[in-house]
Amino acid sequence: MIFNARPIRPVIKNGKLNGLELIETTTDKNGKLKDRRVQNS
């Protein structure tokens, strides 16, 4: 599968700025955004 890579941007995890990471986001069947750095399915 090919996913669209988002630009490098600040990533907020647990309410804290976690620095710059390359993240890819997708939407699941319910329309929720997923951060593929955190959750792969």
Q: Mind listing the pLDDT tens digit for each residue in 1-40?
A: 566 666 656 665 655 555 555 556 666 677 676 666 654 4
Q: What pLDDT does residue 3 have?
A: 64
pLDDT at 41 over 50: no
Q: What pLDDT does residue 9 have?
A: 61
Q: What pLDDT does residue 24 have?
A: 60
Q: Which is nearest to 13 in space by CA: 26, 2, 27, 23?
A: 23
Q: What pLDDT does residue 12 have?
A: 57
CA torsion angle 5 10 15 16 (round to 10) = 130
Q: Which is nearest to 35 in space by CA: 20, 24, 22, 27?
A: 24
Q: What pLDDT does residue 30 have?
A: 73
Which runs of E-coded beta strand occur in 1-41? Answer: 9-13, 16-21, 25-27, 33-35
